[in-house]
């Protein structure tokens, strides 16, 4: 796309700075307010699909209603006629967003230099964002390291409410045309099974992110998304401390509580989760308030897949 492409006579598209499954993100300039912005443009090859159009517009609606320092702010929305690869003109929706000067949490994990203290501070920012969105009845449904920006000063910004749903939507399950929507490594068990999603589904996903921040890998690994989703439903994750000796028993308890299979066994809400993390740092050997007590390792069930019941 031309670097001089102007959207709505106001937003100049510049460098491509990110790609996602549904859209490309460009650095841009708001010519009216003379500020740098990020422009998220739906890919032309997907813009003809009504489901993708609906999902993108839902992101615009959800994001535009959220005003919080830990959530990437959406300034404007619109549509632009773009030629697809077959030279056919298609109407592509776009979002104009706050430009965050930093990298994703995924990048930081890949660099391998996240300390326990940094992990807890970043998780606090993610949970503050979710406390706010959940208070408005909006569940993110796709929390993962690639959807969290971290600035050079350590400020956290959650983005991509593309599959967010209002809690009042009684059809809010993770299935669309028999396909699970989300990212397998961070799916809650109820999401993996196509069940109804609530605020504690987001907390499970944050638990997966916490595990990865503390250990450098997600709680479950597999050769396919299906095998990973199966493990979320049927297997217990290892203790983070078995992969990183700097993780304390208190942090183990917090992460494993967030990763409980049953939603009712997880933290009540994002605020309780955040408070437990802070408490774990202050009392590394004590089980934080709201966290489940750790089970004696010698009493753990043997590792491996649990056979499905007949």
pLDDT tens profile 182-239? 689 999 999 999 888 899 999 999 999 999 999 999 999 998 999 999 999 999 999 9
Q: What's the chain's length in residues?
A: 310
From the candidates 24, 124, 142, 269, give the one annotated as an active-site residue: 142
Q: Is the pLDDT of residue 299 over 80?
A: no
Q: For residue 273, what are its two tokens?
A: 């989760």
CB 293 within 8 A of CB 287: yes
What element of type H or E holds 278?
helix 270-282
pLDDT tens profile 118-163? 999 999 999 999 999 999 988 998 899 999 999 989 999 999 875 5
Q: Is residue 213 classed exposed, middle or buried when 0-12, 13-18 and 19+ CB atoms within 10 A define those classes?
A: buried
What element of type H or E holds 139?
strand 138-139
**Is 271 considered catalytic here?**
no
Alpha carbon distance 111, 159 (integer Å): 21
Q: For residue 287, what are its two tokens?
A: 């089980």
């Amino acid at each position: 796309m031309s670097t001089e492409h102007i959207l709505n006579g106001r937003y100049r598209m510049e460098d491509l700075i990110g790609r996602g499954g549904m859209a490309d993100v460009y650095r841009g300039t708001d010519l009216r307010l003379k500020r740098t912005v990020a422009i998220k443009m739906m890919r032309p090859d997907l813009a003809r699909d009504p489901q993708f159009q609906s999902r993108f517009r839902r992101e615009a609606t959800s994001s535009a209603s959220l005003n919080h320092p830990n959530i990437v702010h959406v300034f404007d929305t619109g549509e632009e006629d773009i030629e697809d690869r077959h030279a056919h003109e298609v109407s592509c929706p776009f979002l104009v967003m706050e430009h965050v000067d930093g990298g994703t949490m995924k990048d930081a994990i890949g660099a391998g230099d996240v300390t326990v203290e940094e992990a807890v501070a970043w998780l606090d920012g993610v949970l503050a964002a979710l406390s706010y969105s959940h208070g408005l009845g909006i569940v993110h449904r796709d929390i993962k390291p690639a959807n969290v920006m971290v600035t050079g000063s350590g400020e956290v910004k959650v983005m991509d409410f593309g599959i967010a749903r209002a809690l009042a939507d009684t059809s809010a399950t993770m299935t669309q045309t028999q396909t699970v929507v989300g990212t397998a490594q961070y799916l809650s068990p109820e999401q993996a099974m196509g069940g109804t999603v609530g605020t504690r589904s987001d907390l499970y996903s944050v638990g997966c992110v916490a595990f990865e921040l503390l250990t450098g890998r997600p709680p479950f690994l597999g050769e396919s998304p299906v095998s990973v989703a199966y493990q979320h439903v049927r297997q217990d994750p290892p203790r983070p401390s078995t992969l990183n000796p700097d993780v304390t028993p208190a942090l183990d308890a917090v992460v494993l509580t967030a990763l409980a299979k049953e939603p009712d066994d997880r933290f009540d809400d994002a605020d309780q989760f955040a408070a437990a993390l802070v408490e774990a740092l202050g009392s590394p050997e004590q089980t934080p308030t709201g966290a489940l007590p750790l089970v004696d390792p010698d009493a753990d069930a043997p590792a491996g897949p649990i056979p499905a019941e007949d």
